[in-house]
């Protein structure tokens, strides 16, 4: 995942944090990897960078490729424009003539990226006439019920129509009870989530679909977006609109906070907004109270039992370890490797960190003053972001050592005439 800034009470970025596949990395302000932790439980992780050899964490008879597991994505510490309003004005010049009188649908999850899209397009209505609405699909049993209230709050705050749909409840319950929880590589829940959206799209037939794809979010997304337009930001492609294509996470946080629509998950230290039991979450992202917040704990408990019985029991993994480590998230073969790795690490005397501290660091960009960073223009930002992510992708694929992930995040390459104007935007 992309590195998230750790912001102090003065708005200074003092470091970065990234988490993926049960590894959490701490980088200093200069982008140098200082600490690497591996999660033993949802509450405790142990420090492992000193026992990593090259890019491999080797423990007894198992090996974990740390570089690939972490998928660290560096990015230049910049804002793509001096202000949210200026970006929207730039957007109006880029796409205004093409979306005049169009009907635009936003795929809305409640997360920071899709909320940024919605806020940018809502503001864009000041300059261009078009019809805007969003669609949100609630995933029964797996998603917190409070998400619906948040979506309604966003709808009122931005004055945007939001269609609230729901995946097939009966089918979802049957699949959970009979097949167990979705896991990486078998995320059947996505089909149930997208089906009502596709149905609505056929009924309403919007002229354009907008989403929150960003260059620096994931390597896979970067490769797809950059290959389509390597020389300039391509915000509109056919009937696909990507309003925050050239934004960094700083731009996203600025826009989200500006409209007072920060999802409560972020304020609790979650790096992303997702289902309570999303298989792509890291271990520390699954709170101990997940059953208490679910609409039907009994269904989830049955799903956990089914998952264990059908896929993990015969691997020799004890049921208590299976549940404590949330191994249902992984393909059975990967689950066994991670279970063995934890078993080997438990007997070592290693420095530890708790989830409360890590989760607090993830909140700092939401609760402290806006991060101080240079402000560029969208075209310059596009070129700089592309350069950084390309280097990060090269490091991930060719690095022979985790130290090769070190990459300076701050840039003095470009003049920043509006540096001061970037401060205090988010409120």
Whether residue 424 has pLDDT greater than 70: no
- Stretch among 9-18, 185-194, 383-392 having the lowest mean pLDDT: 383-392
Mean pLDDT of 195-215: 95
Over residues 384-391, the mean pLDDT reads 88
Which of 332-336, 352-356, 405-409 is least confident?
A: 405-409
Encoded tokens for 169:
């409840």
pLDDT at 404: 84
Q: Smallest Cα–Cα separation from 207: which of 120, 286, 103?
A: 103
For residue 288, is pLDDT > 70?
A: yes
pLDDT confidence band for 227 (50 / 70 / 90): low
Higher pLDDT among residues 298 and 2, named by residue: 298
pLDDT tens, 260-283? 999 999 999 999 999 999 999 999
Spacing of C-alpha 399 from chain mean position: 24
**pLDDT grade, residue 1 (50/70/90)?**
confident
Q: Work out the pLDDT band at 157, boundaries 50, 70, 90.
A: very high
pTM beyond cutoff 0.85: yes
Flag whether pLDDT at 393 surpasses 90.
no
pLDDT in tens, 78-127: 999 999 999 999 999 999 999 999 999 999 999 999 999 999 999 999 99
| Domain ranges across the chain | 84-268
User: Which of 27-31, 69-73, 406-410 is most confident?
Assistant: 27-31
Contact between residue 77 and residue 5 where contact means Cβ atoms under 8 Å apart? yes
Confidence of residue 72 (pLDDT cuts 50, 70, 90): confident
Chain-wide mean pLDDT for the chain?
A: 92
Query: Contact, 75 vs 385, CB < 8 A?
Result: yes
How do residues 295-333 score in pLDDT, each as one tens digit?
999 999 999 999 999 999 999 999 999 999 999 999 999
Tokens of 167: 């995946």
Q: In what order do the strands lie in the sheet with 23-28?
A: 4-7, 13-20, 23-28, 33-39, 44-47, 352-354
Whether 286 and 272 have beta carbons less than 8 Å apart is answered as no
pLDDT confidence of residue 266:
98
Q: Which is nearest to 140 in space by CA: 328, 294, 286?
A: 294
Is the per-residue pLDDT at 240 higher than 90?
yes
pLDDT band at 388 (very low <50, low <70, confident <90, very high): confident
Q: Which residues contact 175 (CB under 8 A, 6 or more apart)?
A: 188, 192
pLDDT at 406: 84
More confident residue, 417 or 224: 224
Contacts 24+ apart (CB under 8 A), 298-304: 299/141, 299/173, 299/176, 299/177, 300/141, 300/142, 300/176, 302/176, 302/177, 303/141, 303/176, 303/177, 303/180, 303/181, 304/180, 304/181, 304/328
| CATH superfamily, domain at 84-268 | HUPs (3.40.50.620)
**What is residue 422's predicted lDDT score, i.e. its pLDDT?**
47
The per-residue pLDDT for range 51-66, each reduced to its tens digit, is 999 999 999 999 999 9
């Amino acid at each position: 995942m992309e590195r998230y800034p750790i912001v102090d009470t003065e708005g200074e970025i003092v470091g970065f944090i990234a988490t993926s596949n049960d590894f959490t990395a701490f980088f200093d302000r200069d982008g140098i990897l200082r600490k690497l932790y591996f999660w033993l439980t949802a509450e405790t992780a142990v420090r492992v960078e000193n026992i990593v050899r090259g890019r491999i964490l080797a423990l007894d008879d198992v090996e974990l490729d740390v570089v690939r597991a972490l998928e660290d994505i560096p990015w230049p510490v910049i804002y793509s424009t001096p202000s949210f309003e200026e970006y929207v004005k730039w957007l109006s010049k880029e796409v205004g003539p093409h979306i005049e009188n169009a009907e635009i649908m936003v795929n809305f999850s409640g997360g920071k990226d899709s909320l940024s899209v919605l806020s940018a397009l809502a503001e864009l209505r000041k300059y261009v006439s078009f019809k805007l609405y969003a669609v949100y699909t609630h995933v029964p049993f797996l998603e917190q019920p409070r998400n619906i209230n948040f979506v309604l709050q966003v709808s009122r705050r931005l004055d945007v129509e939001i269609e609230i749909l729901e995946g097939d409840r009966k089918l979802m319950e049957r699949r959970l009870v009979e097949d167990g929880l979705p896991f990486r590589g078998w995320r059947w829940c996505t089909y149930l989530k997208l089906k009502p959206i596709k149905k609505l799209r056929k009924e309403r037939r919007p002229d354009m679909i907008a989403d929150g794809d960003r260059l620096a979010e994931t390597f896979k997304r970067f490769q797809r977006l950059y290959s389509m337009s390597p020389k300039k930001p391509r915000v509109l492609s056919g009937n696909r609109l990507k309003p925050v294509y050239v934004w960094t996470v700083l731009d996203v946080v600025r826009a989200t906070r500006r409209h007072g629509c920060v999802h409560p998950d972020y304020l609790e230290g979650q790096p992303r907004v997702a289902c309570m039991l999303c298989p792509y979450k890291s271990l520390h992202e699954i709170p101990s109270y997940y059953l208490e917040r679910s609409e039907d704990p009994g269904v989830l408990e049955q799903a956990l039992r089914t998952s264990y019985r059908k896929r993990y029991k015969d691997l020799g993994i004890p049921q208590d370890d299976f549940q404590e480590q949330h191994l249902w998230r992984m393909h059975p073969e990967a689950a066994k490797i991670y279970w063995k790795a934890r078993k080997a690490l438990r007997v070592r005397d290693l420095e530890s960190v708790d989830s409360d501290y890590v989760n607090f660091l993830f909140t700092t960009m939401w609760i402290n003053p806006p991060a101080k960073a240079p402000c560029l223009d969208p075209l310059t930002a596009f070129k700089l972001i592309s350069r950084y992510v390309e280097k990060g992708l090269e490091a991930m694929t060719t690095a022979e050592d985790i130290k090769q992930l070190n990459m300076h995040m701050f840039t003095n390459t470009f003049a920043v005439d509006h540096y001061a104007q970037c401060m205090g935007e988010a409120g």
